[in-house]
Amino acid sequence: MHGRVKVRTTEEERERKKKEQALKVRAYRAAMGRIQKKREAGELDSEMLTLTVQILQRNPDVSTLWNIRRECVLEKLSKLKEEVEDEEEKPAQEEPVGDKPPVKEDKAHSIFTCELDLTEQCLMVNPKSYSAWHHRCWTLEQDPRADWQRELQLCNKYLKYDERNFHTWDYRRYVTAKAAVPAAQELDFCTEKIKVNFSNYSSWHHRSLLLPELYPNEQRDRPMSEEKLQQELEMVLTAAFTDPNDSSAWFYQRWLLGSGAQLDRAPRVAAFRLESQGAVLALDRPYPDLKQLKTELTGGEQKVELQSWLPVDSSGTSWKCQQSLDYQRNTIYSLKLCDQEVNLSPLPGPEDGAFYFAPPHAAASCSKELLAELQTQLQSCLDLLEFEPDSKWTLLTSALLMRAIEVSANHEKSLAHLAKLEKVDALREGYYKDLAARWTLEYELAKWPQAAGFPRNFTLAEDVLLASLPYGQYFVIADELNLSIKLREQLGDSVPITFADLKVKGDF
């Protein structure tokens, strides 16, 4: 039960309401009793339809009654079919002349119309009734003459009443597929909806489904083509600035600035280290069982499949393989994981070995035009912040824009925005702290290959403050982590495991 305000009523009113409700209860029970009796007797007739209407019109969520109506519809249809077959069996007395109206189809159609009318009435009572929406879909699926254009009009009408009703949007997607409405036409509809009201997350969502289809990105490192992306960025910022406190457009904006990665994409090699006694592998995203993925090591003429991977920790991002490998100096090694093949570099220092490392989350490249658009947007955000320094969404978005333009040059500035957000948006303080830790680690890991002692040593300066240590799996190729005592204490058991740790344990 949602949104029913508790109101004080007089004793008299309460009594009156009680009587009224008692009558309703009696009527409901009588009707339900009669319906169940008839159903047991197999009487799926017109009276049954009338009885169910009475209840459904008030309470369309009683799904069993829709089931009964479907049984009635199927019964009527099968009777119609029998009638037609009987007709056909009779000897033809006279040939039909001209266009004889298809009586059977008309009759069937009127059965469906009756169901559609009822669902329409019910949806006026409760536009969020799962059962009523489903009955409408079911009915249309039975009807070979279903009028999908009419259904599209109905969606338009319902979306005018409530532009956020997700049932209507779901139904719209179902109908447009049936009616083969071109995606470009749907996009126009969406644009119109957004123009009427920017604060419409449902419209932005609908849009986000259409654009990647209409304007695909070849490299798949952005949600859509750069050209279209640029236009969308312009449009969404206008929307966001119309009411900077409305979140809908800002969410869309963050999606536009993101990578467009798929949820079920295969993990990629983040870091790898190989020595004679075995190897460690860090993935850029967790995978529950590395043994299921093919990992192949090539060195000169030699090809070895690495098997028997064991997890280094519970996250599924770092793995060890205790397979003794005949490491050959002066041989170029490469590692293949699924479709990805990476070349290994020889490990510096006295021991033999090779490694690979790719820092997380390299920003997608930008065309000149897109870069110019991002810079314009950033400037607009910074201008707005002059007037409204505590504007949460502007603070966050400008930090994201800075990072989309140039990550490392804007590192300190973007962290400053997060620090400010911890204050102005204190509910989500924990989120901003973790995000700052991520950005910091991305920054530090990007710098690591240039550091002395890479990849054996990793040093995090004392003054780098972190709430957590994400990307810990990347350190599995290191021997030594120089972290401040404070950070070590804070991390407790979750200090990342290194190659040296595994050696000490006797794994290698």
Partner 1 sequence: MDFTTFVKPSNGDGGGDGDGQNGQKLQFWKHVEYIENHGKQEDDYEYCMTEFLRMSGIYWGTTALDIMGQLDRLDRKYIVEFVKRCQCPTTGGFAPCEGHDAHLLYTLSAIQILCTYQALEEIDCEAVVRFVVGLQQPDGSFFGDKWGEVDTRFSFCAVATLTLLGRMDQTIDVEKAVKFVLSCGNQTDGGFGSKPGAESHAGLIYCCVGFFSLTQRLHLLDVDKLGWWLCERQLPSGGLNGRPEKLPDVCYSWWVLASLTIMGRLHWISSEKLQQFILSCQDAETGGFSDRTGNMPDIFHTLFGIGGLSLLGHSGLKAINPTLCMPQYIIDRLGIKPQRLARP
Integer Cα distance of 234 and 370 in angstroms = 11
Q: Which amino acid makes up residue 276?
A: S
For partner 1, the binding residues in 333-392 under the rule CB under 8 A are none
Residue 73 or 271 with smaller CB distance to partner 1? 73
Residue 399 near partner 1 by CB under 8 A:
no
Query: Least separation, in Å, of the C-beta of 374 and partner 1?
Result: 19
What is the crossing angle of helices 226-242 and 201-214, to 10°?
A: 170
Pick the binder of partner 1 from 189, 252, 356, 474 (CB under 8 A): 252
Quick one: DSSP state of residue 336? E
Nearest to 485 by CA among 476, 475, 495: 495
Nearer to partner 1, 113 or 199 (CB): 199
The CA–CA distances, whole Å, from 194 to 190, 207, 234, 275 equal 6, 10, 14, 58
Measured CA to CA in angstroms, residue 466 lies from 430, 446, 473, 489 at distances of 12, 17, 17, 12
Q: How far is the CB of 426 from partner 1 (least distance, A)?
A: 7
Residue 225 touching partner 1 (CB under 8 A): no
- Which residue, 220 or 336, is less far from partner 1 as judged by CB? 220
What residues between 171 and 210 interact with partner 1 by CB under 8 A?
Answer: 173, 199, 201-202, 204-206, 208-209
Amino acid in the structure at residue 74: L
Q: Which of residues 108-147 bind partner 1 (CB under 8 A)?
A: 130, 134, 138
What is the distance between the alpha carbons of residues 394 and 414, in angstroms, rounded to a whole number?
12
Of 45, 170, 188, 351, which lies in the binding site for partner 1, with binding defined by CB under 8 A? 170
> Rounded to an integer, what distance in angstroms lies between the CA atom of residue 411 and that of residue 432?
15
Query: Looking only at residues 422 through 451 of this chain, which bind partner 1 when binding is defined by CB under 8 A?
Result: 426-431, 434-435, 437-438
Shortest reach from residue 360's CB to partner 1, in Å? 12
When the beta carbons of 1 and 97 are compared against partner 1, the nearer one is 1
Bridge-based pairing of strands 278-283 and 318-321 is: antiparallel
Q: How far is the CB of 504 from partner 1 (least distance, A)?
A: 23
- Judged by CB under 8 A, the stretch of 188-196, 303-311, 363-371, 468-476 that binds partner 1 is 468-476
Which 59-78 positions form the footprint of partner 1 (CB under 8 A)? 59, 61-64, 66-67, 70
Using rule CB under 8 A, residue 223 touches partner 1: yes
Instruction: Please give the size of the binding site for partner 1, defined by CB under 8 A.
Output: 72
Please, is 24 exposed, middle or buried when counting C-beta atoms within 10 Å of its C-beta (0-12, 13-18, 19+)? exposed
Of residues 263, 452, 461, 485, which one binds partner 1 by CB under 8 A?
263
Among 314, 461, 463, 485, interactor with partner 1 by CB under 8 A: 314
CB 353 within 8 A of CB 274: yes
496: contact with partner 1 by CB under 8 A? no
Nearest approach in angstroms of CB 427 to partner 1 is 5
Pairing of strands 480-482, 278-283: unpaired
The answer to whether the beta carbons of residues 454 and 432 sit under 8 Å apart is no
Q: Is residue 215 a contact point for partner 1 (CB under 8 A)?
A: no
